[in-house]
Structures are given as structure tokens and as C-alpha cells.
């Protein structure tokens, strides 16, 4: 019979007192509580997962990143044939930051297969946003730091958009991600949005537009979400 992993309040308090932060890789075979010392197993449908597909227009591969945790938000490590595959490639990890990862071929739809060898194999998917291009400002155009408007093609009301600004001056990088908005095909950047960036001879600013498709329920987990991100960039000259 499946058993949920439990950890006592006393153990939690002790862990926080000892280390400040409770950060660890949580092995799927938990401690046994009580005299019997029984081993308890965490199954895939007892885990929480967030899977993200990161793709850039013009590239032939996509990066898959996933955070998979237990009920205490601790990273879990797969055991005994448990796996998550995206685009036919099993995720590796977790790494030192608790992230599972893979590189797969770029596609329009990413099939996600969750394998719990004791009971099920579940297939789900998340579609990539449709391709698009930044229509303004044009590459190499002058963009005023007092404010300018970014436009892009193929707006989709089912998607969200994030604009990220990046500038490197004298070897120092400044990056700012603006709040995610609905995909209307346009976003006006204000003086406040652009505050901290500089203009001058040959100073440039990278503007990246990322379209995001979110999937609120990913099958095979206790709670699971997925998102697919597709981005493209343009470099402009900054002006007053």
C-alpha cells in the first residue's frame, strides 16, 4: 500500500534551528518512524512538478527545465525506474540547484511522459507558441530611453508575453524583466521601465520578447504545471 511521507514538526524545527534553511535533495526512501523502521516510498503521483520548455526562434534545440518536489517543497530524486521524458529524452538531474534538465529537438508540440513503474505511464503535452517576429523597433534603430513601443507579429489571446531588456556598459550587465502581460502584439515601455539604462555613442539595448503558453494541469503528478516559452530578440541603439 502506498504511504505518504511524513515528517514531524519537531524534526522540522530542529532542521531549521541547525541550518537556517531546510534545503536538501530528498531521497525517495524516507526515514522510518516508530519502532519498525519501515521504508516509505514517494510515488510520482505524490510529487509536485513544474516543467518549462525554453526555445529561441531560429535554433534547432530547446532546453527543458523542471522542478520536482515533495509536499515540503524539497527536491526529490527518482528511484527504481521512475522518469520524466520530454520529446523522447529522459530528464537528467537533479543538479546542485535542484533542477532536472534536458536538451531536445525544437518542436511545435512537446510530449511529456511520466513513468511510475509500479503502476502507470502517463502521456501529456504542451504546445509551443506560434512563431513570430519583432516588427518594431527595427534592428539597429534608435530607441529613446524616454519611452518607446515594442510590437510583434501573430498576437494570440491564449498566450502571455514577457519583455526583457539587457544592456552591457563597460563590461557591466544590467537586465530587467518587465511584468508579464497578455499577448496583444504591442507593449509600450515607459521612462520608468527604462530607468537605469544609458544612452551614448554606440550604446545598445537588447530587447527580447518571449511568448508563453501555460498549461495548468500536467498529468502524472499530485500537482503539475507546464509552460512553453518561445523568444526572439532585437538590438537597438539607445537615445535620449
pLDDT (tens digit, 9 = 90+) per residue, 72-91? 999 999 998 999 999 999 99
Question: Residue 143 domain-assigned?
Answer: yes
Are 115 and 31 within one domain? no
Same domain? 53 vs 28? no
Calculate what percentage of the chain has a pLDDT beyond 70: 83
Among 86, 104, 127, the domain-final residue is 127
Average pLDDT, the chain: 85
Number of domains in the chain: 3
Q: Where does residue 147 fall: left (phi above 0), alpha (psi -120 to 50 degrees), or beta otherwise? A: left
Would you say 134 and 209 are in contact if contact means Cβ atoms under 8 Å apart?
yes
Q: Is residue 219 part of a domain?
A: no
User: Are 24 and 62 members of one domain?
Assistant: no
Mean pLDDT within 178-186: 97
As a whole number, mean pLDDT of residues 145-166 equals 97
Give this prediction's pTM. 0.81
112 burial (CB, 10 Å; 0-12 / 13-18 / 19+) is buried
Same structural domain for residues 18 and 51? no
- Looking at the fold, whether 206 and 151 belong to one and the same domain comes out as yes
Residue 3 lies in a domain: no
Please tell me the distance from the alpha carbon of residue 229 to that of residue 231, in angstroms, as a whole number.
7
Cis geometry, peptide bond prior to residue 94 (ω within 30 degrees of 0): yes
At 200, the pLDDT band (50, 70, 90 cuts) reads confident
Pick from 127, 151, 185: which residue ends a domain?
127
101 with 150, same domain: the answer is: no
Tell me how far the alpha carbon of residue 208 is from its chain's centroid.
Answer: 16
Cell of 114: 511520466
Nearest 5 degrees, angle CA 196-CA 133-CA 227? 80
Are the C-beta atoms of 40 and 29 separated by less than 8 Å?
yes
What's the CA gap between 226 and 46, in Å, rounded? 17
Q: What is the CATH number of the domain that holds 154?
A: 2.60.40
| pLDDT band with cut points at 50, 70 and 90 for residue 7 | very low
Q: How confident is the model at residue 239 (pLDDT cuts 50, 70, 90)?
A: very high
Q: Are strands 172-177 and 181-182 parallel, antiparallel or unpaired?
A: unpaired
16: confidence class by pLDDT, cuts 50, 70, 90: very low
* pLDDT attached to residue 170: 85
Lowest-pLDDT range of 127-136, 187-196, 197-206: 197-206
Residue 40: what pLDDT?
54
Where in the sequence is the domain holding 28, given as residue range(s)?
A: 9-40
Give residue 10's pLDDT: 32
Determine the pLDDT at residue 35.
Answer: 33
Is 172 inside a domain boundary?
Answer: yes
Q: Is 91 part of a structural domain of the chain?
A: yes
In this structure, the answer to whether residues 113 and 138 fall within a common structural domain is no
- List the single range of 120-129, 180-189, 196-205 with lowest mean pLDDT: 196-205
- 136 vs 14, which has greater pLDDT? 136
* pLDDT of res. 178: 96
Strand bridging mode 142-144 / 223-239: parallel
What is the spatial distance between Cα 54 and Cα 199, in angstroms, rounded to a whole number?
Answer: 31
Q: What is the rounded distance in angstroms from the CA atom of residue 66 to the CA atom of residue 221?
A: 13
**36 lies in the same domain as 70:** no
Q: Is residue 226 part of a domain?
A: no
The answer to the question of residue 220 being in a domain is no
- The answer to whether residues 71 and 96 belong to one domain is yes
Would residue 190 count as lying in a domain? yes
Pick the last residue of a domain from 127, 154, 189: 127
**pLDDT category of residue 17 using cuts at 50, 70 and 90:** very low
Amino acid at each position: 500500500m502506498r504511504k505518504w511521507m511524513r515528517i514531524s514538526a519537531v524534526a522540522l524545527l530542529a532542521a531549521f534551528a541547525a541550518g537556517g534553511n531546510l534545503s536538501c535533495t530528498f531521497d525517495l526512501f524516507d526515514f522510518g518512524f516508530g519502532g519498525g523502521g519501515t521504508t516509505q516510498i514517494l510515488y510520482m503521483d505524490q510529487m509536485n512538478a513544474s516543467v518549462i520548455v525554453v526555445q529561441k526562434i531560429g535554433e534547432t534545440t530547446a532546453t527543458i527545465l523542471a522542478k520536482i518536489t515533495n509536499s515540503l517543497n524539497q527536491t526529490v530524486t527518482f528511484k527504481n525506474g521512475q522518469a520524466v521524458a520530454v520529446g523522447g529524452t529522459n530528464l537528467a538531474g537533479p543538479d546542485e540547484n535542484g533542477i532536472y534538465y534536458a536538451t531536445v529537438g525544437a518542436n511545435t508540440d512537446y510530449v511529456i511522459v511520466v513513468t511510475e513503474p509500479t503502476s502507470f505511464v502517463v502521456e501529456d503535452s504542451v504546445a509551443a507558441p506560434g512563431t513570430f517576429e519583432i516588427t518594431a523597433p527595427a534592428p539597429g534603430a534608435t530607441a529613446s530611453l524616454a519611452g518607446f513601443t515594442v510590437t510583434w507579429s501573430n498576437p494570440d489571446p491564449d498566450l502571455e508575453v514577457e519583455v526583457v531588456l539587457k544592456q552591457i556598459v563597460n563590461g557591466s550587465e544590467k537586465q530587467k524583466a518587465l511584468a508579464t502581460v497578455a499577448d496583444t502584439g504591442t507593449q509600450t515601455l515607459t521612462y520608468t521601465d527604462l530607468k537605469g539604462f544609458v544612452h551614448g555613442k554606440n550604446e545598445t539595448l537588447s530587447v527580447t520578447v518571449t511568448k508563453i503558453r501555460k498549461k495548468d494541469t500536467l498529468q502524472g503528478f499530485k500537482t503539475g504545471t507546464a509552460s512553453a516559452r518561445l523568444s526572439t530578440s532585437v538590438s537597438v541603439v539607445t537615445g535620449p
